[in-house]
Amino acid sequence: MSAGEIRWRIERGRLFPLHRGVYAVGRPAVTQLGRWMAAVLVCGPHALLSHASALALWRMLPARASDPIHVSVPSTRGPGRSGLMVRRRTGLAEGDAKRCQGIPVTAPALALIDAATTISAAELEAAIAAADKLDLVDPESLRAELERRGRRPGTGPLRRILDRATFALTDSELERRFLPIARRAGLGRPLTQHRVNGFVVDFYWPDLGLVVETDGLRYHRTAAQQARDRVRDQRYAAAGLTPLRFTHAQVRYEPGHVRETLARVAARLRGA
């Protein structure tokens, strides 16, 4: 279309400018998907939705209309666009550019790496968990991707979260760290590796009917593992026992939370 033809359609309410050269057709209001697509289109060929905007498109984070839109463009492109967070980059690897709902976007792993420097640690951890749940990228594959890319912005925060999320103690170190926590919570020494209801449990207080199990891996437990855990907890409850679960990372990094939970549960059981 010529400039006159476009102007004629704008004047008659058939086109509505969103960015220079990008228009909504028929109505001025567009969805979040429309805003993302318009942002990529105005940034030209090879532009990709990226960073937190890419996470939102992949459904790893909630989409908020108030958030700025992030777009990555080749480093040879001109100045940025008003109202957009335009990032310049070089050397996209094969598979880094994808399409989601028709919108050019960075691949899930790259979106996580990019966004790691722009969102909070809590949001980043939630995005990693969502990526695993949605089968976009699991923690093991993400860890391999970090090693492949080496040191670059974003890899450090991701490594720290993944290391903590997949943290596992040896049996002896787990006991060495957990038993003082239990003692400070007012509990006596438990039986360890004791058979209860057909299962070998990590920690057991017979006088309270309290069973504590610990999980070495926080993320990416298989469906079969999760099903076995539920069956164990259900059998404990059916036998009148109280099951509690903590991760190894909680024992190592969040002892205050573990202690407080144990103390409150023990107080309730003693009262009962």
Condensed to tens digits (0 to 9), the pLDDT of residues 3-38 reads 999 999 999 999 999 998 899 998 888 999 999 999
50 shares its domain with 21: no
pLDDT score for 88: 86
Least confident of 79-88, 111-120, 126-135, 228-237: 79-88
**pLDDT (mean) for 29-55:** 93
pLDDT score for 80: 58
- Contact between 186 and 178 (Cβ < 8 Å): no
132 shares its domain with 188: no
96 shares its domain with 149: yes
Distance CA 78, CA 88 (A): 10
45 shares its domain with 151: yes
88 or 78: which carries more pLDDT confidence?
88
Confidence tier at 220 by pLDDT (50, 70, 90): low
11 shares its domain with 48: no
78 has pLDDT over 60: no
189 shares its domain with 228: yes
38 shares its domain with 143: yes
253 or 82: which carries more pLDDT confidence?
253
204 shares its domain with 95: no
How many other C-beta atoms can be found within 10 angstroms of the C-beta atom of residue 172? 8
Residue range of the domain that includes 188: 171-271
Least confident of 55-59, 195-199, 225-229: 225-229
Q: Most confidently modeled of 107-111, 193-197, 211-215?
A: 107-111
pLDDT score for 180: 93
Domain boundary pick from 114, 130, 165: 165
35 shares its domain with 8: no
- CATH number of the domain enclosing 220: 3.40.960.10
Residue identified by tokens 């697509």 is 37
240 has pLDDT over 60: yes
Report how many domains make up the chain.
Answer: 3
85 shares its domain with 202: no
161 or 54: which carries more pLDDT confidence?
54
63 shares its domain with 176: no
> Which residues neighbour 54 within 8 Å (Cβ) at sequence distance 6 or greater?
48, 70, 105, 106, 108, 110, 111, 114, 115
154 shares its domain with 239: no
Q: What is the pLDDT of residues 111-158, one digit of tens each?
A: 999 999 999 988 988 898 889 888 898 887 888 888 888 778 888 888
